[in-house]
Structure 1
Amino acid sequence: MPKKGENIYKRKDGRWEGRYIKSHTYTGKIIYGYVYAKTYREAKIKLKEKRLPCSSQVIKKDINLFSELATEWFESVKLHTKVSTQNKYYNMLKNYILPEYGSKTFDTITHEFIEEHCKFLLESGGKNGTGLSAKTVSDTLSIIRNITKFANKKGICISYDANAVQIKQNAKSMRVLNKTEQTQLCEYILEKPEPCNIGILVCLFTGLRIGEICALRWEDISFSDQSIYIHHTLQRIQTHQDHGGKTKVVTTTPKSACSIRRIPLPDEISDILVSNQKSSSGYLLTNDDFKFIEPRTMQNKFKKVLKSAGIADANFHALRHTFATRCIELGFDVKSLSEILGHATVNITMNRYVHPTYEMKKENMQKLSELLAVK
């Protein structure tokens, strides 16, 4: 906890951070600066040194600070983004962008500076100083590009091209259950048809996201036409964009309009749901109107099920990838599959969620043998 009036905090990485008023914009808005030190005493001394020369400094209107435009951009995107997305942007701005870009004006930012900053994040960024993932750095760079576009629209002269900086990302191999593992999982669940296990089975045969199955209620299932209506997702979000912000679980609409969808149920899954239904309302995973299971807990339960079933470890999202891959193997129409998964385009389905097995490739290659068949 900070001492009253001092604005000195101990960070999670062990360092002490001090915040001071660096300057004011021409409208009187406060612009903060930060100091970092290994000890509280050292941070207090640095803070005292910084406060003296900066307390009366005012930034003129024609000097466009990156931090000022970043704040304006963030306030503008808050109008049309979900709270979880806002938290992501806020944390990236605070932790990765503003400490380096905040006090700079747009005319002093160069291509080389952006490249060096990205290199630093990749090699030494993060709480432990061991480097961030290429995906995180790429997302950070995307925010910088969006702020640049925002500044450009306001008529500010930009001296660099953020689009020219690229972060190479190596495609990760996604875990997909093979047919033997899928059979093992199904057999285990049918032997132990507990609510959470039934939820896992539903995801395996519908491709639901973990937040969607956690939010699914019995009222969303229609047994008359064998379908489920997906219009909510359950997630844990930050409640305060500040030091030590608390979190809470909320139920919101899915990540995009395409994710609101009705999914037909296979006969067997529908029958299993009917035979294991213990309530006419409430959450599917708890059979309770108010008690729910959050994604993190569901993830842990899934891993325990895999271990008990003798299946190698995997994340819950592997069920979605497994579903998509099985559908392609069975000859599903790709457009239908894309809509079932809630994707905006077929390309997302094919590029991210379809993982052809070696057997599938071999089977397709054998079709070429017909061209050499002796008649």
Structure 2
Amino acid sequence: MKASLPFKYIIADKKGKNYVVFDFKDDSGKRKRKWVTTDLPADCSYKALTAKVNVIVAKFYEEFLTGSLTKVKEAPKEKEKTELSEESLSDDAECKTSFEFTAFLDYWLETIKPTLARTSHQSYTRYITRIKNYFDERYPHLLLGNLTALQLQQFYNDKYNSGLSGNSVKHYHANIHKALKYAVKMDMLDINVADKVELPKIQKFEANFYNKDELEQLFEVFKGDRLELVVHIAAYYGLRKSEIIGLKWDSVNFEEKKLTVRRKVSSTYGSGKEMIFVENQLKTESSVRTFPLIPHIKQMLIERKTLEGYYSKLLGKDFDREYDGFVCRDNFGKLITPNFVTSHFKYIIQKNKLKHIRFHDLRHSCASLLLANGISMKAIQEWLGHSTFNVTANFYSHLDFHSKVESAETIAKVLGGDSADTEQAIHDKGSEGKKSRKSST
């Protein structure tokens, strides 16, 4: 939105056409919105769209200065509720009646885009697209102001009955609730009807992970593989896939023995190919972190750097230099992409008949080993880069048997009892864990 003018505006896509949406206040201080068509298709050139928008904004500015747009109109005695047609988009209508629900979701997505990381906006867009498809089919031309809690409840019920988990339904609800909360904030709605619905019970997430023996098996099958270094970094540091691929040599300080996570690499598919995005700003401050350089990983990095120099010299101009400076590349200089990590990791796991886990579960494996060896939940939060302690606790509290033993010993000492029993409990619990993990492989 533009802040230098006495009004705000955005460019919105509605039914395959571009519109300029103006947001302003009338003389009474009431928020108003006006849609003006550009008569240009959604896929028009940027140059053509910019020229047309400049003309429309200039004309709107002139009208705004005359006061014709901000003059308060007498409200009709009875207001008929009509469907939002393309013609009515250009009418000077009040916010509470001018938006269809699904059109408003698009508007909200465009509004929050500058505040989100690219990957977060992609995730929002996927959910919003499915929500729109449902409501456009079930309740075509539903106005934002006419949306009811019952309609939302039916949507959640239908999603749950189709086989989605309570957790997945919650993600849909989170998007709708945020959008409607914004509508209330902008005086487009009086209340957030999403507050009234009942959500299905949410199953507590229990992470999948490998124990020490299983990780050693994993390291063995990845020896000499393109993902060998990637897998080791994931298991030792618990880094996210995007963070590992985002490592550059400037993140590795061999002299001070430090490894810093400060960027990430993500991807998406477009035009039939994987498009790579290098993002130099991580989602939260807690995601930026510096680790001690573990000797084993240091040695692997030195070997990788030496090998890269050898192949760079050997291949000369045929060595791919598009991603020079990145650590995780193959012997031809090509960047190891996020999709390759996911698919190749799965292939190697299946080929060698190892217990099924996702690549991301190496992060959980790292956390579970730290927790099992007495590292505090707070320290694990900082190691993994979780934004809050609650995130870490929700993932791993069910594994924290060690803290329960300490509590048992404390109460035994206070009230009287044989604290040696708790030592046996640790041994028994450890034995159970080993047996259960062996039986699951």
Could you tell me the TM-score, scaled by structure 1's length? 0.72
Q: Would you say the 8 A contact 2:239–2:384 is kept in 1?
A: yes
Which gives a bigger RCO, structure 1 or 2 (Cα 8 Å, sep 6+)?
A: 1
What secondary structure is seen at the aligned counterpart in 2 of 1:251?
strand
2:132 aligns with 97
2:113 counterpart letter in structure 1: K
1: CA distance between counterparts of 2:250 and 2:226? Answer: 15
Q: Would you say the 8 A contact 2:211–2:369 is kept in 1?
A: no
Distance apart, 1:292 and its partner CA: 0.7
**Does the alignment pair 1:227 with 2:258?**
yes
Match of 1:178 among 208, 211, 226: 211
Give 5+ residue unaligned stretches, structure 1. Answer: 1-18, 31-52, 125-130
Match of 1:298 among 341, 349, 361: 341
What secondary structure is seen at the aligned counterpart in 2 of 1:350?
helix
Q: Superposed, which structure 2 residues align to 1:263-278 within 5 Å?
A: 263-277=291-305, 278=307
Q: Would you say the 8 A contact 1:258–1:343 is kept in 2?
A: yes
**Does the alignment pair 1:250 with 2:266?**
no
Query: Structure 1 pair 102/321, CA: closer, same or farther in 2 (3 Å)?
Result: farther
Which is worse superposed, 155-164 or 321-330?
155-164
What secondary structure is seen at the aligned counterpart in 1 of 2:362?
helix
2: CA distance between counterparts of 1:354 and 1:270? Answer: 31
Distance apart, 1:308 and its partner CA: 5.3
Match of 1:146 among 178, 187, 190: 178
1:261 aligns with 289
| Residue deviations 1:238-290 (CA, integer Å, cap 9, x gap) | 55xxxx88751211133323212112232233234334542366433325695
Query: Structure 1 pair 57/245, CA: closer, same or farther in 2 (3 Å)?
Result: farther
2:148 counterpart letter in structure 1: T
Could you tell me the TM-score, scaled by structure 2's length? 0.62
Distance apart, 1:361 and its partner CA: 8.4
1:116 aligns with 154
2:344 counterpart letter in structure 1: K
2:308 aligns with 279
2: CA distance between counterparts of 1:301 and 1:247? Answer: 15
Distance apart, 1:204 and its partner CA: 0.4
1:6 aligns with none
Distance apart, 1:76 and its partner CA: 1.6
Match of 2:365 among 315, 322, 326: 322
What secondary structure is seen at the aligned counterpart in 2 of 1:104?
coil
Report the RMSD for the aligned CA atoms in angstroms: 3.6
Give 5+ residue unaligned stretches, structure 2. Answer: 1-14, 22-32, 39-83, 310-323, 421-441
What secondary structure is seen at the aligned counterpart in 1 of 2:35?
coil
1:372 counterpart letter in structure 2: D
2: CA distance between counterparts of 1:55 and 1:326? Answer: 59
Whose radius of gyration is greater, 1 or 2?
Answer: 2
**Does the alignment pair 1:80 with 2:115?**
yes
Q: Would you say the 8 A contact 2:180–2:192 is kept in 1?
A: no
Q: Would you say the 8 A contact 1:206–1:265 is kept in 2?
A: no
2: CA distance between counterparts of 1:231 and 1:335? Answer: 21
Distance apart, 1:348 and its partner CA: 1.4
1:250 counterpart letter in structure 2: F
| Residue deviations 1:302-355 (CA, integer Å, cap 9, x gap) | 234434555211100110001011111122243332122111122212221455
2:195 aligns with 163
Distance apart, 1:203 and its partner CA: 1.0
1:372 aligns with 418
